[in-house]
Chains A and B, each alone.
Chain A
């Protein structure tokens, strides 16, 4: 009986430790998003596929040959956009162009929606950099929000703040009218 209670006493704190550590991890890092780096990251090839993660104040791009980090405090602007790309893959898409009766063109009509995430930042020397990522539809906004929460700047939010500033003191209803 004493042995059982002792083991219980040991397992309960262990359980709580595991639960709290997983909570902290959840706060620090977001879920990873599959992305394609179109252009911009130093020493990363164009159109490199990888995973985007926002964790510990960094925008991390994990790709085949390594990891690239951008500190959120160095980010000056984040812009998200929507676009579309061919649903039928590259090789099949190219081969299909030779298909008779405009079969290739017909395939071009089938497209899937994608998001673009554009990040502008300055490195340690103050040099300007820009990176463009392509993510699945609906994922870029979540990353943008998380980046802003972890200290990244955007021109849009600062402009919005400026437009709100002069009318401080007035009720929100007045602002909208």
Chain B
């Protein structure tokens, strides 16, 4: 009787894992349409206050990392050249959580003072239809200044974008 219970628990756990993997794979699977370019909208932080240098670092790192990932056309917010681009994907980023941390505390204690930033990334088309929505976290735990968290975020977000929108080109 005990073995049966254990087995059912194990089965439920396996089903849960399988569902998670399927959901994750579905989220990162490439889309059907060919992306003409990606536009990065300015970073929003309506609910919480984020220092200006963090907002700017998030934005600039995001643009650079998207270019590094292989997006041939990365447009900035308000760029007039993006007006006629077909199949343009627009990346909207909203800061959801921000922990400033301390570089000094990290260097002195190693375990304390981590900086973390959680950003909701929403990829939409020109009409505003969401293609992908995901929370991405950037962290710096041991080495580097506080702004390194923005680099970490940008690297992760651009990887998600490239998996989703560039894989169709066989890249």
Interface residues of A (CB under 8 A from B): 38-40, 77, 79, 81, 84-86, 105, 108-109, 111, 116, 118, 120, 122, 125-132
Interface majority SS on B: helix, strand, loop or mixed? helix
Partner of B61, one of A39, A108, A122, A131: A39
Interface majority SS on A: helix, strand, loop or mixed? strand
Q: Are A130 and B56 in contact (CB under 8 A)?
A: yes
Q: Are A38 and B147 in contact (CB under 8 A)?
A: yes
Partner of A118, one of B53, B76, B109: B53
Q: Are B60 and A39 in contact (CB under 8 A)?
A: yes
Interface residues of B (CB under 8 A from A): 42, 51-53, 55-57, 59-61, 75-81, 103-104, 107-109, 145, 147
Q: Are B107 and A105 in contact (CB under 8 A)?
A: yes
Given contacts A38-B53, A130-B60, 10 further A-B contacts (CB under 8 A): A79-B52, A81-B52, A105-B107, A105-B109, A108-B104, A118-B52, A126-B80, A127-B79, A127-B81, A132-B57
B52 CB → nearest A CB, Å: 4
Question: What are the residues of chain B within 8 A of A81 when measuring CB–CB?
Answer: 51-53
Closest to B107 in A: A108
Partner of B108, one of A109, A120, A129, A131: A109
Q: Are A127 and B78 in contact (CB under 8 A)?
A: yes
Please give me the 8 A-B residue pairs with the lowest Cβ-Cβ distance, nearest first: A130-B56, A127-B76, A108-B107, A79-B52, A127-B79, A128-B77, A126-B78, A118-B52
Q: Are A111 and B104 in contact (CB under 8 A)?
A: yes
Q: Are B53 and A116 in contact (CB under 8 A)?
A: yes
Bound CA–CA A94/B59 (angstroms): 29
